[in-house]
Structure 1
Amino acid sequence: MHAVEVNFDGLVGPTHNYAGLSYGNVASLSHASSHSNPKEAVLQGLEKMKAMHELGLEQGIFAPHARPDISVLKRLGFTGTDSQIIEKAFKADPILLRACYSASAMWTANAGTISPSADTLDGKVHFTAANLNNKFHRSLEPVTTTALLKAMFNDERYFSHHTHLPAQGFFGDEGAANHNRLCDSHADTGLEIFVYGASSFNSALPKPVKFPARQSLEASQAVARLHQLKPENQLFIQQNPDVIDQGVFHNDVIAVANGNVLLCHEQAFLHQADTLKQIKQAYLGNKPLHIIEVPTNKVSITDAVSSYLFNSQLITLSDDSMILVAPKECQRNQAVHDYIQEMILADNPVQQVRFFDLRQSMQNGGGPACLRLRVALNSDELAAVNPAVRFSEAKYNQLVSWANKHYRDSLSSDDFADPMLLTESYQALDELTSLLNLGSVYPFQQE
């Protein structure tokens, strides 16, 4: 059966801000306390979705989470009305309050891991929301993420949803940002590659020294079991700890795969030569496997992190060629730009590049690939998806009007003391619930 890959891009939330909450993420830390522009951010994301749709690709929409998370502030001892809770939290711990306002769910590559039906024993598409337990502000996400996924993929004939892994640090799971899939086509059985930063239980394996390894081997293995993957469908490989310490906090900052192409830096993986040999031996496809290994002498790790070259999207077009969807930072970095031009002229399926302005997301440490969750679906499964979350020209126009109505042009650290920001954010999501037919996924709707 024919299948397509749908990219479900995260709508940037109304409280998008630069709080510098993500230790190990160079861009996030370097822009801490800068003024953000939520309206510009959401419109930039919508523009990318529209461009993908115009290329003839299936595009989906992933809703933001309700922020601030008042329920967490209540659990932490703040009392009173919502306005009083915000006032007390701002005075007592403004950093905590900003964490509860974080719009980090916009990066849906971390929403969860998805295995297509072609890879699973029961023939269903499997979803496991990531627990994101390495960072407090992100650990608030999995319950709502699961509710959103169930509202989007709600037909039990085709879709199977799993509870996120235990929150203990042993099972750190950061979702599809550390998961790649190689295959002849999206309909074919693929090789699912789980990339981990360290093992929680095996102290003999190397670990990064400066920054934390967010994805554990044990979490990746658990997701593979939950998804009922066939043994030949799965491969577990370790990211190079040295590049984690240089700001490569997720594998999608140093490698990206699509179809029969793996684009990676030559320092991406531990024992890289052996790892690439493993991948070649495990590859299930009949088409030739293209491993494009970017040498350090052409693109340094520093340039890779600052430009987010590997956080670009690799997408298959209708003629089976591929396009690299890259942030404008790749165009501005001369070394990276030169390499991209060399790559698209070489003998491989990647034949063109498109650059997008995603500055608001990039300054917080998320590029094009961070903003999307990839879901391969056959025609029956695609028809069973909530139609309101599938992108169209009409939906684009609705969402642009919605964003212009509800979003602020600027947010500073002082704005989080304003209780009206909560009211505005909740009103925006209440209206979005109808636009995307989400039911009662937000906590404030159930009180």
Structure 2
Amino acid sequence: MTVIVSILLAVCLVGLLILGTPICIAIAISSVVAGGVALDFDMMLQTGAQRTFTGISVFTLIAIPFFILAGDIMNQGGIALRLMNFARLLVGRLPGCYAHTNAMANMMFGAISGSGVAAASAMGSIVGPIAEKEGYERDYMATVNIATAPTGLLIPPSNVLITYALVSGGTSVAALFIAGYIPGILWGLVCMVLAGFLAHSRGYKKDSQKITLPIAMKITFDALPSLLLIVLVIGGIVAGAFTATEGAIVAVVYSLILSLCYRTINLKKLLKIYANSVQMTGIIILLIGVSSIMSWVISFVNIPDAVGELLRGVSESKIVIMLIINIVLLFVGTFLDTTPAVLIFTPIFLPIAQSCGISPVEFGIIITFNLCIGLITPPVGNILFVGVKVGKTTIEKVIKPLLPYYALIFMVLMLITYLPFLSSYLAYLAGYPEALGPVSKDMLGLTP
């Protein structure tokens, strides 16, 4: 029965996606059809309806629309330019300063807005033209922008991590947020090192603008309110002052006040922001709801156990099993967006990862990291296409320069997979002992 349901589920889902069916409808239909084989079809319809409403009736889920709204307000609120100037202040004296500025600004803005696409669009359109005037090639700058934009989906706050927390059965959002810092920063740093090496070999100069102390103080003062949002929201969640949901509301209020103070948002623009946020929220909530049906079907017919046995049939080595999981997720990420991929594959692979000694927190970072790579790879990488568009270049011109970045990012993925304490140890120090899995505890000498 498990094999029949698994094949039917996969064939229906892939077939519907090939036919161009919207992902949420494809998930719902394939789940009901496959579940109807294991149960009476009428009972499956009732169960599907119940699971849909149960899946979205979670208090933590309220955080997602508020973080989306906060990100939209920040995107339109004049924050991007201030963060870019601050990043330029920090790394302007390094070879390839504009590439470093782009990378660091992506990390900061992506973390504040929670959107890699928004970071690539905002920073690419601001830094790119300035760098081009200084003699930097478009392809070089577009490549750096694309490669570093996904870091904001790992560095909190991150809607992907909130979604994972829900579908994984209640993993701590705060622990996931803290765990995302080191992998996100490592991703950005390795890209900056490569960008600096390439800049040096091409003879790109340092920032020609002379920064005096008064100018530096003004740039820092302008950027400080935006940076304070990270401290306020994440610090409040970690300290237990408020929940992730309450933190999202704080982010909305703070960003709105900040944008009004900057006088960059009027009533007309605000209404448009609300409309965009509602539209995006509706898509994500519907995805979570229908994916709850698929998660239930997957669990009901014991698909994770079957997949686990299949993987152990290939190899008993935990190293090989985790490598296969990574390869599958990397492949999936090139075709599916992060949210539906997390919703579909977490129930399948999380139990297997736990059997390999990986905690839910550690696996949350691993699956998110994998799927973020998919955002910068063809054929459907959203950030790749946005980065090419704002960089005024073509995909053919940036794919080859992106290859060494892919290699370095994959290296970081292997590090956090086989040294999982790199992501979870910060969460452990912050008071979340469950963040460390058995493998990490053994590596750190914390097991009896």
TM class by shorter chain equals: under 0.3
More helix by share: 2
TM-score (norm. length: structure 2)? 0.27
More strand by share: 1
TM-score (norm. length: structure 1)? 0.27
